[in-house]
Structure 1
Amino acid sequence: MQYQIGHADLKLILALVRGRTLARAAEQLQVDVSTVFRAIRKLEANLQVALFDKTRRGYTPTQSAKALAEQAERAEQALEAARIALTQGENVISGTVRLTCTDAVLRSLLLPGLAELMPRYPAVALEVATSNTFASLSRRDADIALRLSNAPPEHLIGRRLGRSSYFVCGHERYRRGYGPLATELPWIAPDDSLADHVSVTWLRQAYPSLTPRYRCSSMSSVGSLVGAGLGVAALPDFMISSLDGVERLGPALPGCDTDIWLLTRPDNLSLRSVQILFDELANLLKTRIADVCQA
């Protein structure tokens, strides 16, 4: 008869995945090292599957162990949510909510809101995926998306939180060169993975013969290079305040204003955890955007 894996087995695997050594796993489980060693050997024999590879650095989990550890974490979260529900009552919000945004939006807009919001809901687990497209939301791999778009997909619903403008930015020493000599400055721009980005379109139209000195695969990386003083770039207003020493070198760029949307699928709002986080995030972010955009 095939071995039926139990809760104790999942706890054992998760402890060793997290600890990577028998000693750390034993400490988490409050048993001795030999007990962990024997239990893992016995479990692998029962399952007829290798769960860990022993290396000089410790125990490296196989794909099988990683998959089981993921299930163990979900079970752990479910138990914690049940405990909170018992102490806080039936109105507690629990479950896993998946959110997608870009790296730049995560760092400059979303993180301050999450820091304020998530402590209110200790039974909610949040999974954050950074992506430059709407694909993950459309494939149902995410529940909520925070995006910059003037034409969000029609199959999604949401709230327009504000509007962002773009400015050419850089350290103060580049100010004198911006203008007639702008093409001689070291420009930083998104690479071909963001070929349709609004800043790329503007740069191509404003300076058709310009070849950027630096090209990056994300706006977050573009901002990091500008912050390091390596050159100038067209950046959204909400990123500028978080970059030390970076200034706006000119007025808002024409044709680059972009709406900021919090989006979800209509069916997601039937999930209480998604609906509450969606509404509260929208309110927090709208205030944040009003403070940092075009400031």
Structure 2
Amino acid sequence: MLNAATHYQLDYPDLALVLALVRGGTLARAAALLRVDVSTVFRAVRRLESSLGQVLFEKSRAGYLPTSLATTLAQQAERAEQALEAARVGVEQGGEVISGTVRLTCTDSVLQGLLLPALARFMPGYSALTLELSTSNDFANLSRRDADIALRLTRTPPEHLVGRCLGTVSYRVCASPGYAQQHDTQDLATLAWIAPDDFLPDHPTVAWRRQHLPGVRPSYRCNSMLSATELVRAGLGVAALPDFLLGEGHGLQPLGPALAGHDTALWLLTRPDCRALRSVVTLFDELGRHLRQPS
């Protein structure tokens, strides 16, 4: 809270000053961001702290460290910055602009194989929309309200979330072309296997391997399917990988058909309370159009 005794009225230049110093960390970097000289920034910070009656930054060898108040003001400044940018874009485009920040979570394999190509197609049309991305394998992000939208590979999405199924995702045993040439790929049990570790105990590929190759002990265990894919591409062994990570130019060679009865579904999910936010609804609908998988 601000010191009420000062009665100082913050304005946008004050917020821009704090944001620049938080982002830059030093007077020199803040001055470059604001396009003024270092002495101007120094005097402006001292003047603002005096007006507020509170310290905003602690000087250290590492630079200027923001206090909790400065961090809060910087967050508010970022929102003001986004609102101003949305207004500018709206004037330029002559219409309503979708703005704000949407937090999205997905696995690293979904990010690499599905989400990035989709974002490249439609996000340039939403210049005032900010997207915060995080990768994880669980649903806790939405439950804890750490995210607004999730893309998940599952047959049983949590009942407290709402969303839509975008289609089926199949898995195939794959190898690099070099590994396939050097080994007898007809006998899968004799190959070096790369598999999810205990962080993904119920993964469809784990269930398939336990059923069809119960004697196989993986040579490599990974906590993500993207890591498993990279090990396969490096020629270290074989793995059952999702079909969206395969295809021309990926350096992976399927060794057989899709694993029957062990596919999964791609779900686009959000919290019920997020359906009132235009930014979330807009991104949700765009993802639904661009990520639909063949069933």
Range into which the TM-score falls when normalised by the shorter chain: 0.7 to 0.9
Equivalent residue, structure 2, for 1:273? 279
1:177 aligns with 2:176: no
Q: Provide structure 2 residue ranges, at least 5 long, that are not aligned to the other structure.
A: none
Between stretches 253-262 and 268-277, larger displacement belongs to 268-277
1:93 aligns with 2:95: no
1:75 aligns with 2:80: yes
Contact 2:178/2:235 (CA < 8 Å) preserved in 1? Answer: no
Structure 1 residue corresponding to 2:142, chosen from 130, 137, 147: 137
Equivalent residue, structure 2, for 1:192? 198
Between stretches 248-257 and 101-110, larger displacement belongs to 248-257
Change (3 A) 1:7 1:246: same
Equivalent residue, structure 1, for 2:261? 255
Residue 64 (structure 1) shift: 5.7
Equivalent residue, structure 1, for 2:127? 122
Equivalent residue, structure 2, for 1:105? 110
1:29 aligns with 2:34: yes
Q: Cα RMSD between the aligned structures?
A: 2.6
Structure 1 residue corresponding to 2:225, chosen from 219, 227, 230: 219
Give the percent of matched residue pairs that are identical in Structure 1 and Structure 2.
59
1:232 aligns with 2:230: no
Q: Which amino acid aligns with 1:170?
A: A
Task: State the alpha-carbon separation in 1 of the partners of residues 68 and 215 from structure 2.
Answer: 49
Contact 2:59/2:65 (CA < 8 Å) preserved in 1? Answer: yes
Task: State the alpha-carbon separation in 2 of the partners of residues 225 and 52 from structure 1.
Answer: 46
TM-score under structure 1 normalisation? 0.85
Task: State the alpha-carbon separation in 1 of the partners of residues 237 and 49 from structure 2.
Answer: 55
Residue 186 (structure 1) shift: 2.3
Contact 2:195/2:221 (CA < 8 Å) preserved in 1? Answer: yes
Change (3 A) 1:158 1:34: same
Task: State the alpha-carbon separation in 2 of the partners of residues 76 and 68 from structure 1.
Answer: 12
Task: State the alpha-carbon separation in 2 of the partners of residues 212 and 43 from structure 1.
Answer: 61
Paired residues, number: 287
For 2:132, what is the secondary structure of its paired residue? strand
Q: Provide structure 1 residue ranges, at least 5 long, that are not aligned to the other structure.
A: none
The Cα offsets for residues 155-193 of structure 1, whole Å up to 9 and x where unpaired, read as 33322222111111111233333333x333222112222
Contact 2:57/2:64 (CA < 8 Å) preserved in 1? Answer: no
Change (3 A) 1:127 1:173: same
Residue 255 (structure 1) shift: 2.5
Contact 1:51/1:64 (CA < 8 Å) preserved in 2? Answer: no
Structure 2 residue corresponding to 1:7, chosen from 8, 12, 31: 12
Residue 282 (structure 1) shift: 0.9
Residue 86 (structure 1) shift: 3.6
Task: State the alpha-carbon separation in 1 of the partners of residues 121 and 290 from structure 2.
Answer: 9
For 2:29, what is the secondary structure of its paired residue? helix
Residue 32 (structure 1) shift: 1.0
For 2:291, what is the secondary structure of its paired residue? helix
Residue 106 (structure 1) shift: 0.8
1:201 aligns with 2:188: no
TM-score under structure 2 normalisation? 0.85
Residue 66 (structure 1) shift: 4.4
Q: Which amino acid aligns with 1:141?
A: D
Between stretches 238-247 and 190-199, larger displacement belongs to 238-247
Contact 1:52/1:65 (CA < 8 Å) preserved in 2? Answer: no
